[in-house]
Amino acid sequence: MAESRATSRLSAILSHLPFVSAAPSAIEVAVAELQAAFPAEQLSLDVKTLKRFGQSWGSFSPPAPAAIVVHAESTADVVKVVNIAVKHRITLIPVAGKTSLEGQFLPPSCCNPPSADTRLPSGKLNEEEQTVATRPTIQLSLARMDKIIAVHAQDGQAVVQPGVGWQSLNEELAELGHKLFFPIDPAPGAQFGGMVGVGGSGTNAVGYGTMRAEWIQGMEVVLMNGEVINTRGKGRSRKSSTGWDTGRLFLGSEGTLGIITSLTVRLAPLIPLKAALTSFPSVASAVSAVVEIIGAGLSPTSLELLDGTSIRGMNLAELLPYKLEEEPTVMMRFSSPLEEVVNVALDKVKEIVAKNGGRPLRVARDDKESTKIWGARKAQYWSQQLLIGEGCRTLLTDICVPISRLAEFVERSELDVAQSGLLAPIVAHIGDGNVHRAILYKLKEGEVEAPPEVAKLASKLSKLAIELEGTCAGEHGIGTTKRKYLREELGAGTLNLMRRIKAELDPLGLLNPGKVIYETLEEEEESKT
């Protein structure tokens, strides 16, 4: 009976979500209240800014500018915006570094343009800038909340606002003379709010884990009722078994459950890194070597795989002072405060590489060469585009499979790529089975959407990963592009639990709606057709 009542209540809550909208006058009143509550420099109503916030270079979604962008500078600012949005039933989308790739911060469908007199001197809209007002939206930018509030060096902690970038934090730590750093290294420009939102990672994941590990030790979060909570209270202890781990609710929630306004992050000792690389006759032999390296307890910081096509792009970009063989290549890094420990590990790696048919291991001679090698790896997104030249566009896929099934994924996905007629080079975090195939394409004159083969190939790769006991999203999150795979990957029970949590924390369905999960079961069913 209790379960039946809960189900009925959930159905009642969810049934109205797709109809949450505001009358045309409601957004005007909300904008007026925002203008009264904030100075002009914290509000954006101009075309250029709204379009910039309403599109993502990593998404297929068309531009969808919001009605207004509010640039928060404090937790109090966030609370004000939340209260105004809820009062007038306006969709609210938090955004920070804008480096996400799955449409996480884009307004749902398309949103109403601002008043004509704020856009063009003529008071009219250019054709390309006209949108249909289906759901008025406020975008809440957290990028100006970019303060490092405190560094507790002895505790290996820092307290940061969501607009702080991981690179900025590391630069500040270096300037302060602290031999500490934050080791999770996603895309350049990524900020902590978004990094926590998608549960991201980077090239250091094999050694340090992901954002879902214990690198986030506490968060201040604004809920949709205007309440401000701290997931660990006032505590900063390294560990705690007090109560439920409520912070986990917000890790990977992609801005759908609450708005993070500060974070206590864990720092790691900064120790020297040495890079090395080698190539193999096949992906299977490269995977075999990596499994042995990890199994031998050699504790690499990074293990990356680039296929021969990606190496061709690297060579075209001349990112290294020497050309590499266009073969499956493993780039790796080892770290230790003791140089002799790294040297012993690399000697063992040389044996493992030779055993698996690899070329002689090329070890960086000094820090400068190590930095150069890893810089080439980090620039792969751009060097791959040289493979088809000017006008290249990229859909970067993001699957993860057990390492033991990585070679099978690559082999089977090669057939899918060949059938598509597209070019899709590989960059993989091979140490944890996370594979990015970069689907490269060009638009023909007059086209605005990617060829259908692009989306079809991406879908095949996601489904193959799930078939191989993996996931459709290794580190980029779900957004709007991966929602259709969640039922198959997570199961109906988990998905229903996620819906109940969303309904409890955001009963009006205003906070970043339609991200991670569909707003209704009906919408999910329609997506299958």
Per residue of the chain (529 residues), what is the pLDDT tens digit?
A: 444 444 444 444 444 444 455 445 789 999 999 999 999 999 999 988 888 888 776 565 667 788 999 999 999 999 999 999 999 999 999 998 877 877 777 776 533 333 333 323 333 334 344 443 358 899 999 999 999 999 999 999 999 999 999 999 999 999 999 999 999 999 888 999 999 999 999 999 999 999 987 899 999 999 999 999 999 998 899 888 998 999 999 999 999 999 999 999 999 999 999 999 999 999 999 999 999 999 999 989 999 999 999 999 999 999 999 999 999 999 999 999 999 999 999 999 999 999 999 999 999 999 999 999 999 999 998 999 999 998 899 999 999 999 999 999 999 999 999 999 999 999 999 999 999 999 999 988 877 788 999 999 999 999 999 999 999 999 998 988 899 999 999 999 999 999 999 999 999 999 999 999 988 888 888 877 6
Residue type, 171: E
Q: Which residues face 306 on adjacent strands?
A: 329, 427
Dig out the tokens for 172 from the structure.
């500040």
Place of tokens 């070597």: 289
Residue 240, classed as helix, strand or coil, is coil
**Domain at 273-387: CATH architecture:** 2-Layer Sandwich (3.30)
Q: Interhelix angle for 339-355 vs 283-295, to 10°?
A: 140
Query: How distant, in Å, are the alpha carbons of 214, 411, 412, 426, 444 from that of 408?
Result: 31, 5, 6, 14, 34
Same topology between domain 273-387 and domain 388-477: yes
**Domain at 388-477: CATH architecture:** 2-Layer Sandwich (3.30)
Which residues, 6+ apart, have CB-to-CB distance to 234 below 8 Å? none
Domain boundaries, the chain: 2-141, 148-269, 273-387, 388-477, 483-527
Dig out the tokens for 22 from the structure.
């505001």
Q: Which residues face 91 on adjacent strands?
A: 137
CA distance 38 to 388: 47
Closest C-alpha among 384, 381, 339 to residue 364: 339
CATH topology of domain 2-141: 3.30.43
**Number of other CB atoms surrounding residue 83 within 10 Å:** 16
**Domain at 148-269: CATH architecture:** 2-Layer Sandwich (3.30)
